[in-house]
C-alpha cells in the first residue's frame, strides 16, 4: 500500500511583509538582536519578540553565520570547553547570554546565573553558528517548539525547509527534525544551515535506520557514531530516552495505551530483548562527553509518557522521571545543559502534580512538555485539547511547550496544520506569560485592546498573532475599505454598537464628574458638606 | 455603506447520519430521554449525551411538543405556580427533573434538591414544550451555549434555524438568539418551535428596536411588554442587565475597553441620561412576576464584564457582581430560577477569584461565563484563547460556558464558525468534567484511546467529537480503505510505529512475567531466595 502524494508541491511561501503588514525587522545593538516593530496608524510603535530570522537568503547557501566571530575568538584564546553551562559556572557572560538578555529585556548576569544553576539553557551547538540564541527557562518568556520531519511515507526536503521557515514565521522558538525516512543527513543539513532557531533531533531514529529497523541490533557504539555526526553538523539538542529502564517496562503492560513514544518503545523493546539495562543509561557518560564537546543540550526524553487520560501520572511515568532526575545531575557533572521532556495526555486536575514533581525531582532543570492534551475525545482538534493543558502547565512553570497540530494522531501536518499548531501554542505561551506576570507581556494585549476599542481596525489586525486571518474574517462580513475606519462592526451594525455607546457613556461620565467638581469647588472645597 | 451578502444561501445541512457514522439515536424510558449510541467494530456500544433533538420534522410545523402532557396535567390539577424552583422547594419531582436525572445518570431527588437550593436550574418555559429538559449546575455535566442571531447587517431567518440545528448537532446545550435586526418576533418563533434546547434572549435588544434605538426612550413599561410577549412565545431564559447601577458607571470611565456588553452599555447610557437608577433594578420585582408566570429563568447579565485583560477583576466588574448577588435572592423570593453571567477577558491567574467570588456573593447560583479569553492578542483564534479559560473556570465549578467563535470581535459567525466554536467548547466542557472527576466522563476517552491503540481507525473516528474531520485528516495522508485497518499510521510509517512496537513490548513483558512466575514456582514459591 502506497500513500497518495499531492500531485504538485505546495506553492512558495508568501513574503514576510504579506504576513505582517506595517511591520519591519530591527536589529538591536552590537549583537544585532532581532525584533519586529509594528507601526500603528497614529505613528506609535510596538516591538515584539521575533523568531523569523534573516530573510531573502538562498537556501542552497544557508543563513549568515552570526556566531562565527564569537566562537572563533574562544578558539583563539584556547578554550577547550565551549559549553554555556561551563562558562556560566565560571562566571563568564558569553555573547549568547548577552543576546538572550537583550531579547528578554533582563540583566545578562541574571541569564548567566540561571544557566549556572541549571534552571535555564541556551541550546546552541558551537557548529550551529547561524542561530539567534534563545533561552529556555521558567524565569523567561515561555517558548514553543514545532516538530517537522518527513517519514517513510511523505514529504520532500524542500517541503521540510519550507515548513521550518513557516513554523518560525509564526513564532516557533525551536524546531525538532523528526524525520525517519531516507536522506536523513541531507535533510538535516538543509534544515540546520537555514535555521536561525535551535534544532533538536531524536538520534535513536537515525541509529535505527542504520540497522534496518532491527531494534535488537542497536548498541551504544552505533549510537555514539550517530550523535557525533549529528553534533558535528550542528544539532542543538538531542532527545535521549535514557530514563526508560528495564524495571519500568512491565509497569506499562496494563496501560490503556502502553508506550506511545517512539523512542521509548524502541528502548523498551531493546531492554526486553536483551534483558539488559538501557544502553543509553549505562552509556550515559560517553554520550555526555560527545555532547559536551559540541555543547549539545539534553532534552531528556519521556519515553514512558502517558498516551491517554487513563495512563496519566502512573508509576511508569513517574518511575522514569526519577531516573531523569538522576541523569540530570550526571549531565551537569559533564557541563552539559539539560531540559526534561514531559507529557503527553493529562487531565487538568493532574497537571499541577507533573510540574511539582518535575521541579523537585529534576532539580529545577527546565521542563519541556508535549501539550498536555486534556482529553482524548477530539482527534482533529488536538491543537485545542492540548493548548488548554499547555497554557496551564506553562503558567505553572514549564519553560517550553511542544506544539500539537490538528493532525496529531491522524496524519502528517501540512503547511496549514503547522501554522494552526504554532498559533495555538503562541496563544498558550502568551497566556502563560500573562499569568506569570511576566514583565511587559501585557503591552501587546493592551495595545490591541485599545485599538479594538477605538475602532482602529488596521491596528487591531496588525497587532494580532495572525493579521491575515483577522483581516480575512473581518472582510468576510464587511469587505469595503470604508469599514476599516467605520466606528462600528458587523456584529451589531451601525445603530447598535456597545463600544460606540460606551464612548458616549465616557463623555457623560466625564461631564458628570466635571459638574461634580464644579459643585465641589463652589461649595468651598470641603469634602463633606454639613447636612 | 451596505455589507456584501453571500450571493446564494448556504446549502442545506447534511443528514445527521453523515456527521455521526455508526451512531443511532435512542430514547430511554417512558420519558424518552435521548442519547446517541455509537456502535464499535467489535459490536460493543458506547452511549453519549445527545442534544440533536428530533430529526426530519418540517421546520414550518416545528418539533413535537413533548412536554405538553406534563404541563396539561399540572393545569388540570389546578396548579398556579409552574416554576421548577417552586415545585422543587415543595419537594415535588417534576417530569423535567426526572428527565434531567436520567440524562445525567443521577438520582431524581438529587436534581430536585440542587434546584431547591438554587444551585442548579432547569430553564424550561412552560410554553416551550418542544424542549428536551436539561440542567445547569456545577454538580452536573458542564454545559455549553451557542449564540446565534442576525443583526441589521446580515443573515436570514432560514439561516438562523439552520444555525440552531447545526449548533445542537455538535453539542450546544442551549442557544441564545441575539438577533437585533428586523423580524425579531418571527425569527424567534421559528427558532423556538424548532428548538429541542432551551432558548435564551436579551429582551432589551427588542425593547430598543421599539424605540428606534433611542436609549433614553426606554422604560420599564415597554420592557415589561416585551418580556411578556417573549415569555408567552416560550423563551426559556432572559439575560437581564439589572446589576448595572448608576454608581458603577463612572468606575468604567478609565478602563481600557470601557463597557463592551451591549446590554450593559445601553443601561449605563440610560442611567446617565436620566441620572436615575437602572429601571431593571428598580423594577426588578415586576420583571420577576412575569418571569415566574411562565417559568422563565434569569441569566443575570454581566453588563460590566471586562472586555480586555487590562480590565479584568476591577471594581466595576465586582461592584456589579455584588448587585447580582442581591438580585439572586430577590428572584428566588419569587420562585424564579437564576444563573449568573460572568466574564469575558480574564488572564489565567485571575480566573479563580472570579469563581470564588461568584459562588460566595451569588449564594451558589450557577455561573455562566463567556470564555473567559485568556489573552487579547489573537483575533481570529478567540475560540482557542477562550477555550483555555473556559476549561479552567469549568473545572472550578462554572456550570455553563458560552461559546466564542473564531470570528469573535471580527464579524458574524457563519456555519463553519459555529461548528468550530461549539467543538472548542465541547472540548473545554469535557476537559472540565474530567478534571471534576465527573462520574462516567472518562468512558469515552478510554474507549477512544483503546481504539487508537488497537488501530481501530473507524472506531477512533466514530468516537470523536467530530468524526468527519478526524477521518478527513487521516485520509489526507492515507486515503485508501486498506489504511483504515492497517496496523500503522502515516506519522511513522509501516516499519516504525511506536504502538506496533508496544504490542511487542507487551508480549515480551507478559512472557517475561510468565517466565518469572514459572521460575518462582520452580523455586518453591519463596519470595526472596537465599543469595
- In 10 A of CB A481, how many CB atoms? 9
pLDDT bracket for residue A59 (50, 70, 90): confident
* Interface residue A508 vs chain B (CB under 8 A): yes
State how far the Cα of B414 lies from the Cα of B409, in Å rounded to an integer: 14
* 3-state helix vs strand vs coil in chain B, percent to 5: 50, 10, 40
Contact between chains at B308 and A349 (C-beta distance less than 8 A)? no
As a whole number, mean pLDDT of residues A418-428 equals: 98
- Show residues of chain B in contact with A434, CB under 8 Å: 309, 347-349, 374-375
Cα nearest neighbour of A461 on chain B: B379
Contact between chains at B308 and A453 (C-beta distance less than 8 A)? yes
Rg for chain A, CA atoms, rounded: 26
- Show residues of chain B in contact with A262, CB under 8 Å: 492, 496-498, 501
CA atoms within 13 A on the CB side of B175: 29
Q: Which DSSP category does B30 fall into?
A: T
Q: Which DSSP category does A338 fall into?
A: E
Express each pLDDT in A76-129 by its tens digit.
Answer: 999 999 999 999 999 999 999 999 999 999 999 999 999 999 999 999 999 999
State how far the Cα of A501 lies from the Cα of B257, in Å rounded to an integer: 12
Q: B402 near B380, Cβ under 8 Å?
A: no
- A310: closest CA of chain B, how far (Å): 6
Whether the pLDDT of residue A528 is over 50: the answer is no
Contact between chains at B505 and A478 (C-beta distance less than 8 A)? no
From the list B180, B345, B436, the residue facing A493 with the nearest CB is B180
pLDDT in tens, chain B (531 residues): 333 444 466 788 999 999 999 999 999 999 999 999 999 999 999 999 999 999 989 888 899 999 999 999 999 999 999 999 999 999 999 999 999 999 999 999 999 999 999 999 999 999 999 999 999 999 999 999 999 876 545 556 777 788 899 999 999 999 999 987 778 899 899 999 999 999 999 999 999 999 998 999 999 999 999 999 999 999 999 999 999 999 999 899 889 999 999 999 999 999 988 999 999 999 999 999 999 999 999 999 999 999 999 999 999 999 999 999 999 999 999 999 999 999 999 999 999 999 999 999 999 999 999 999 999 999 999 999 999 999 999 999 999 999 999 999 998 888 899 999 999 999 999 999 999 999 899 999 999 999 999 889 999 999 999 999 999 999 987 766 666 656 555 555 555 566 766 777 777 766 665 565 555 455 554 444 333
A52-56 contact pairs (CB < 8 A, 24+) = A52/A16, A52/A25, A52/A168, A52/A169, A52/A196, A53/A132, A53/A165, A53/A168, A53/A195, A53/A196, A53/A197, A54/A196, A55/A16, A55/A25
Residue B529, pLDDT score: 36
From the list A259, A466, A473, the residue facing B502 with the nearest CB is A259
Beta bridge partners of A328: none
Contact between chains at A491 and B307 (C-beta distance less than 8 A)? no
State how far the Cα of B336 lies from the Cα of B132, in Å rounded to an integer: 20
Window 229-288 of A, Cβ < 8 Å to B: 249-250, 252-253, 256-262, 264-266, 268-269, 272-273, 275
Contacts of B508 (CB under 8 A, 6+ apart): A249, A269, A272, A273
* Interface residue A199 vs chain B (CB under 8 A): no
The torsion defined by the Cα of B385, B389, B391 and B397, in degrees rounded to 10, comes to -160
Cα nearest neighbour of B484 on chain A: A410
State how far the Cα of B245 lies from the Cα of A506, in Å rounded to an integer: 15
Environment class of B67 (CB within 10 Å of its CB; exposed 0-12, middle 13-18, buried 19+)? buried
Best B505, B512, B513 member to test A by mutation, with max A CBs in 10 Å, is B505
The chain-wide mean pLDDT, for chain A, equals: 91
CA-nearest of A112, A167, A163 to A139 is A112
Whether the pLDDT of residue A268 is over 70: the answer is yes
Q: β-strands A338-342, A297-300: how paired?
A: parallel
Which of A367-381, A474-488, B206-220 is predicted least confidently?
A: A474-488
Q: C-alpha angle B236/B238/B239, rounded to 5°?
A: 145
Contact between chains at B482 and A1 (C-beta distance less than 8 A)? yes
From the list B250, B428, B453, the residue facing A513 with the nearest CB is B250
Distances (CA, A) of B310 to A450, B256, B387: 10, 7, 19
CA atoms within 13 A on the CB side of B2: 3
* 3-state helix vs strand vs coil in chain A, percent to 5: 50, 10, 40
- B242: closest CA of chain A, how far (Å): 17
CA atoms within 13 A on the CB side of A100: 30
State how far the Cα of A413 lies from the Cα of B491, in Å rounded to an integer: 9
State how far the Cα of A207 lies from the Cα of A173, in Å rounded to an integer: 26
Residue A479, pLDDT score: 66
Distances (CA, A) of A131 to A126, A154, B287: 10, 28, 66
Strand order from edge to edge, sheet including A33-39: A23-28, A33-39, A45-49
Residue B3, pLDDT score: 39
- Show residues of chain B in contact with A374, CB under 8 Å: 391, 427, 431, 434-435
State how far the Cα of B146 lies from the Cα of B421, in Å rounded to an integer: 8
The torsion defined by the Cα of B319, B320, B325 and B328, in degrees rounded to 10, comes to 170
Q: Which DSSP category does A531 fall into?
A: -
Residue B316, pLDDT score: 97
Q: β-strands A338-342, A367-370: how paired?
A: parallel
Contact between chains at B509 and A477 (C-beta distance less than 8 A)? no
- A450: closest CA of chain B, how far (Å): 6
Residue B149, pLDDT score: 78
Distances (CA, A) of B374 to A104, A402, A432, B402, B406: 22, 19, 9, 15, 14
Contact between chains at B272 and A392 (C-beta distance less than 8 A)? no
From the list B388, B427, B480, the residue facing A381 with the nearest CB is B427
Q: B144 near B426, Cβ under 8 Å?
A: yes
- B390: closest CA of chain A, how far (Å): 9
CA atoms within 13 A on the CB side of B515: 8
Which of A49-58, A149-158, B49-58, B213-222 is predicted least confidently?
A: A149-158
* Interface residue B506 vs chain A (CB under 8 A): yes
State how far the Cα of B407 lies from the Cα of A476, in Å rounded to an integer: 10
* Interface residue B69 vs chain A (CB under 8 A): no
- Show residues of chain A in contact with B348, CB under 8 Å: 391-392, 395, 431-432, 434-435
Window 391-430 of B, Cβ < 8 Å to A: 391-392, 395, 406-407, 409-412, 414, 423-424, 426-428, 430
State how far the Cα of A50 lies from the Cα of A23, in Å rounded to an integer: 11
Cα nearest neighbour of B509 on chain A: A250
* Interface residue B456 vs chain A (CB under 8 A): no
Q: C-alpha angle A422/B491/B425, rounded to 5°?
A: 45
Contact between chains at B257 and A449 (C-beta distance less than 8 A)? yes
As a whole number, mean pLDDT of residues A140-158 equals: 78
Whether the pLDDT of residue A525 is over 50: the answer is no
Whether the pLDDT of residue A496 is over 70: the answer is no
pTM for the structure as a whole = 0.94
Contact between chains at A309 and B424 (C-beta distance less than 8 A)? no
Cα nearest neighbour of B385 on chain A: A427
Task: Kindly give the residue spans of alpha helices, DSSP state H, lying in A295-338.
Answer: 315-333
Contact between chains at B388 and A273 (C-beta distance less than 8 A)? no
Residue A182, pLDDT score: 76
Contact between chains at A446 and B387 (C-beta distance less than 8 A)? no
State how far the Cα of A386 lies from the Cα of A272, in Å rounded to an integer: 32
Residue B278, pLDDT score: 98
- A436: closest CA of chain B, how far (Å): 8
Distances (CA, A) of B123 to A90, A118, B223: 68, 55, 21
Whether the pLDDT of residue A507 is over 80: the answer is no
Q: Which DSSP category does A29 fall into?
A: T
Window 340-399 of B, Cβ < 8 Å to A: 345, 347-349, 374-381, 383-385, 387-388, 391-392, 395
Amino acid at each position: 500500500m502506497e500513500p497518495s502524494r499531492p500531485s504538485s508541491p505546495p506553492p512558495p511561501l508568501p513574503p514576510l511583509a504579506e504576513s505582517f503588514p506595517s511591520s519591519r525587522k530591527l536589529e538591536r545593538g552590537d549583537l544585532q538582536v532581532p525584533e519586529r516593530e509594528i507601526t500603528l496608524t497614529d505613528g506609535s510603535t510596538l516591538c515584539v519578540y521575533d523568531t523569523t530570522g534573516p530573510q531573502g537568503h538562498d537556501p542552497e547557501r544557508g543563513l549568515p553565520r552570526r556566531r562565527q566571530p564569537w566562537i572563533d575568538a574562544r578558539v583563539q584564546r584556547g578554550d577547550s570547553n565551549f559549553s554555556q553551562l561551563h562558562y556560566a559556572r565560571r562566571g563568564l557572560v558569553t555573547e549568547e547570554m548577552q543576546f538572550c538578555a537583550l531579547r528578554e529585556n533582563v540583566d545578562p548576569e541574571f541569564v548567566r546565573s540561571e544557566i549556572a544553576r541549571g534552571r535555564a539553557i541556551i541550546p546552541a551547538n558551537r557548529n550551529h553558528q547561524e542561530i539567534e540564541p534563545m533561552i529556555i527557562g521558567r524565569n523567561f518568556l515561555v517558548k514553543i517548539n514545532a516538530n517537522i520531519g518527513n517519514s517513510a511515507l511523505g514529504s520532500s526536503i524542500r517541503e521540510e525547509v519550507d515548513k521550518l521557515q513557516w513554523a518560525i514565521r509564526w513564532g516557533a522558538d525551536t524546531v525538532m527534525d523528526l524525520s525517519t525516512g531516507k536522506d536523513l543527513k541531507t535533510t538535516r543539513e538543509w534544515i540546520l544551515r537555514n535555521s536561525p532557531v535551535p534544532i533538536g533531533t531524536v538520534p535513536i531514529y537515525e541509529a535505527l535506520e542504520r540497522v534496518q529497523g532491527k531494534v535488537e541490533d542497536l548498541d551504544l557504539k552505533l549510537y555514539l557514531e550517530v550523535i557525533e555526526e549529528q553534533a558535528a553538523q550542528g544539532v542543538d539538542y538531542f532527545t535521549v530516552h535514557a530514563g526508560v529502564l528495564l524495571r519500568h517496562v512491565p509497569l506499562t503492560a496494563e496501560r490503556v495505551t502502553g508506550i506511545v513514544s517512539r523512542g521509548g518503545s524502541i528502548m523498551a523493546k531493546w531492554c526486553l530483548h536483551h534483558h539488559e539495562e538501557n544502553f543509553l543509561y549505562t552509556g550515559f557518560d560517553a554520550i555526555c562527553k560527545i555532547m559536551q564537546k559540541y555543547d549539545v543540550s539534553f532534552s531528556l526524553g519521556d519515553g514512558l509518557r502517558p498516551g491517554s487520560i487513563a495512563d496519566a501520572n502512573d508509576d511508569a511515568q513517574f518511575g522514569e522521571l526519577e531516573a531523569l532526575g538522576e541523569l540530570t545531575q550526571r549531565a551537569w557533572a559533564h557541563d552539559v545543559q539539560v531540559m526534561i521532556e514531559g507529557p503527553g495526555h493529562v487531565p487538568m486536575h493532574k497537571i499541577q502534580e507533573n510540574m511539582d514533581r518535575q521541579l523537585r525531582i529534576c532539580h529545577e532543570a527546565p521542563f519541556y512538555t508535549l501539550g498536555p492534551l486534556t482529553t482524548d475525545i477530539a482527534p482533529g482538534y488536538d491543537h485545542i485539547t492540548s493548548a488548554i493543558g499547555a497554557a496551564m502547565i506553562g503558567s505553572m512553570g514549564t519553560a517550553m511547550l511542544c506544539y500539537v497540530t490538528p493532525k496529531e494522531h491522524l496524519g502528517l501536518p501540512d503547511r496549514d496544520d503547522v501554522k494552526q499548531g504554532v498559533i495555538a501554542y503562541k496563544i498558550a505561551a502568551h497566556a502563560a506569560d500573562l499569568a506569570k506576570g511576566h514583565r511587559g507581556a501585557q503591552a501587546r494585549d493592551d495595545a490591541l485592546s485599545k485599538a479594538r476599542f477605538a475602532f482602529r481596525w488596521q491596528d487591531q489586525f496588525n497587532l494580532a498573532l495572525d493579521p491575515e486571518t483577522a483581516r480575512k474574517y473581518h472582510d468576510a462580513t464587511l469587505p469595503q475599505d470604508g469599514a476599516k475606519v467605520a466606528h462600528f462592526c458587523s456584529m451589531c451594525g451601525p445603530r447598535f454598537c456597545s463600544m460606540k455607546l460606551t464612548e458616549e457613556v465616557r463623555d457623560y461620565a466625564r461631564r458628570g464628574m466635571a459638574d461634580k467638581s464644579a459643585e465641589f469647588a463652589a461649595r468651598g472645597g470641603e469634602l463633606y458638606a454639613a447636612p
